[in-house]
Amino acid sequence: MLNVEKRDRLKLPHIPIEKRPPQERLRDFCEVSLTYTPEQAIAEASRCVECAKPPCVKACPLHNTIKDWLVLTAEGRFLEAAHLSQTTSNMPEVCGRICPQDRLCEDACIVGVKHPPVAIGAIEKFINEYAFAEEGLPLPAVAAPTGHRVAVVGSGPAGLACADELVRRGHHVTVYEASPKPGGLLRYGIPGFKLEKSVVDRRTEYLERLGVELVCETRVGVDVTLDELLDGGFHAVYLATGATVPKRPSLPGMHLDAIEDALPFLIRNNTEEGEPEDDLTGLRVVVLGGGDTAMDCLRTARRLGAASVTCVYRRDEANMPGSRREVQAAKDEGVVFEWLRAPVRFLDNGAGGVRGIEVIHMELGEPDEEGRRKPVPIEGSNFEIDADLVIQAFGFDGSPVPASDGPKVTKWGTYTVNDDGMTTIPGVFAGGDAVRGADLVTTALVDGRAAAAAIDRYLRANTQGA
């Protein structure tokens, strides 16, 4: 530990995490951020002023005991720090990489009032990579088998966290996944430059070693019904099917070729093998939207050789939903931002394709019910932006299991649940994006963990083990 009095810690220099330079990183889909060295991690963690009631812990949806593992890191006790971080999170190595810390823990960090906040995410990544290099992912203690069987539908962070917690409690868990491999959006949505696939692989391999049964390429509601699961020996079901149905505003010209949704574009081009399918060399690409998905599309398009990549977003930079860090990364990689612009119609190139979009200038009006200032069009301010490819990233609705008499869903396709996360069908629970709508990895983990505790209570109260 750097032997520095608490009051002097604010004078310690911040150690920014090193990033690969844009010209280098645009040539591949590998992670952009490097990992701290032990010396850097100690120096950065030593900047923590050890608040009595740490606001970083409160701001973290998982309430990770951040201060405690920062102190351990500052003392060079990396393994202990990693173990502590693993007690509240089922994948801290993932959260360290892709949580929007600048909107959560780091935004709340007291040091950040006058100085750069402590780089909590980079330290979380470091301690967990350190632990992985030292000891792999050792298996935790598992309770004696209860004889209860639970089906988890969907292998994103919500489903995997729930499975992890249930198996530790002695229940047998089978995870059904529609895609060829487990991981949900961690594997099939979030690009490798934020989270490499090998990180997802080692987490799912660990879960299999722990005893989670993974059944991929099986879509519940199609290959096996929810009723068949309930009648076929499962005592409870957890629906963690995510929210991946694209929202699309109805705009003139939306039938034209070369207008597509964000997720298929990302899946095609962020492949396991690192071999993208599209070649956008010379094309002008416009991405509509301002969230994390839009940022990932913009940065993917830059890696595919597009001549220009433009983000069109209806609010200003300060009011966009995505992480500031991601916006900065996109800017560093040459993305152009058109703030306060909303699409009006897609323009026809005369051959069935798109040649651009007409947009209108917006200004921010009164705050809406969530307190965000509403964008209002400025009459007569329309202009055109040329484009050979337009990608729509307006967000997602829920993607519930196809079932005519399944649990109740809202008009946004998300499940209705009670305080225990149970749907309108007894014994069928739901969580993650499937309930919240498109949200975050960390909130999906919160839900998966809470569901495991609720399912455990339900099983003990309502069923006898086999």
Ligand X SMILES: Cc1cc2nc3c(=O)[nH]c(=O)nc-3n(C[C@H](O)[C@H](O)[C@H](O)COP(=O)(O)OP(=O)(O)OC[C@H]3O[C@@H](n4cnc5c(N)ncnc54)[C@H](O)[C@@H]3O)c2cc1C
Among 64, 155, 174, 204, the residue binding ligand X under the rule CB under 6 A is 155
Burial label, 332 (beta-carbon count in 10 A; 0-12, 13-18, 19+): middle
Among 153, 207, 359, 428, the residue binding ligand X under the rule CB under 6 A is 153
**Segment near ligand X (CB under 6 A); pick from 97-105, 332-340, 366-374, 412-420:** 97-105
With binding defined as CB under 6 A, does residue 440 bind ligand X?
A: yes
Of residues 269, 260, 340, the one with CA closest to residue 305: 269
**Segment near ligand X (CB under 6 A); pick from 35-43, 141-149, 150-158, 370-378:** 150-158
Q: Between residues 214 and 434, which has the closer beta carbon with respect to ligand X?
A: 434
Of residues 246, 216, 264, the one with CA closest to residue 389: 264
Q: Between residues 438 and 459, which has the closer beta carbon with respect to ligand X?
A: 438
At its nearest, how many Å lie between ligand X and the CB of residue 370?
A: 18
Among 118, 166, 178, 330, the residue binding ligand X under the rule CB under 6 A is 178
Q: Are 234 and 153 in contact (CB under 8 A)?
A: no
With binding defined as CB under 6 A, does residue 201 bind ligand X?
A: no
**Three-state SS letters, 271-306:** CCCCCCCCCCCCCEEEEECCCHHHHHHHHHHHHCCC
Q: Between residues 158 and 330, which has the closer beta carbon with respect to ligand X?
A: 158
Burial label, 13 (beta-carbon count in 10 A; 0-12, 13-18, 19+): exposed
Among 41, 237, 240, 329, the residue binding ligand X under the rule CB under 6 A is 240
Q: Between residues 119 and 444, which has the closer beta carbon with respect to ligand X?
A: 444
| Tokens linked to 464 | 């006898």
Q: Between residues 216 and 251, which has the closer beta carbon with respect to ligand X?
A: 216
Residues of this chain, 3-42, that bind ligand X according to CB under 6 A: none
Residues 6+ positions from 439 with CB-CB distance below 8 Å: 243, 432, 433
At its nearest, how many Å lie between ligand X and the CB of residue 344?
A: 25
- The span from the CA of 281 to the CA of 277, in Å, is 12
- The span from the CA of 317 to the CA of 324, in Å, is 9
Q: Are 444 and 169 in contact (CB under 8 A)?
A: no
- The span from the CA of 231 to the CA of 462, in Å, is 16
Instruction: Give, as one character, the DSSP assignment of residue 290.
Output: -
Among 121, 157, 192, 343, the residue binding ligand X under the rule CB under 6 A is 157
With binding defined as CB under 6 A, does residue 94 bind ligand X?
A: no
What x-and-dash track marks residues 264-293 binding ligand X by CB under 6 A? --x-------------------------xx
At its nearest, how many Å lie between ligand X and the CB of residue 285?
A: 16
**Segment near ligand X (CB under 6 A); pick from 74-82, 112-120, 427-435, 456-464:** 427-435
Q: Are 261 and 174 in contact (CB under 8 A)?
A: no
Of residues 276, 262, 292, the one with CA closest to residue 98: 292
Q: Are 451 and 169 in contact (CB under 8 A)?
A: no
With binding defined as CB under 6 A, does residue 330 bind ligand X?
A: no
Among 349, 382, 399, 424, the residue binding ligand X under the rule CB under 6 A is 399
**Segment near ligand X (CB under 6 A); pick from 16-24, 94-102, 144-152, 248-256:** 94-102
Containing 69, the helix (H) or strand (E) segment is helix 66-74
- Binding-site residue total for ligand X (CB under 6 A)? 41
At its nearest, how many Å lie between ligand X and the CB of residue 177?
A: 5
Q: Between residues 160 and 312, which has the closer beta carbon with respect to ligand X?
A: 160
At its nearest, how many Å lie between ligand X and the CB of residue 182?
A: 7
| Tokens linked to 117 | 């906040």
Q: Between residues 121 and 253, which has the closer beta carbon with respect to ligand X?
A: 121
- The span from the CA of 420 to the CA of 229, in Å, is 21
Of residues 307, 331, 311, the one with CA closest to residue 388: 307
With binding defined as CB under 6 A, does residue 219 bind ligand X?
A: yes
Burial label, 240 (beta-carbon count in 10 A; 0-12, 13-18, 19+): buried
At its nearest, how many Å lie between ligand X and the CB of residue 349?
A: 28
Residues of this chain, 334-393, that bind ligand X according to CB under 6 A: none
- The span from the CA of 310 to the CA of 338, in Å, is 7
At its nearest, how many Å lie between ligand X and the CB of residue 154?
A: 3
Of residues 455, 459, 460, 465, the one with CA closest to residue 152: 455
Binding site for ligand X (CB under 6 A): 98-100, 153-159, 176-179, 184-185, 189-190, 194, 219-221, 240-242, 244, 266, 292-293, 296, 399, 401, 432-434, 438-442, 444
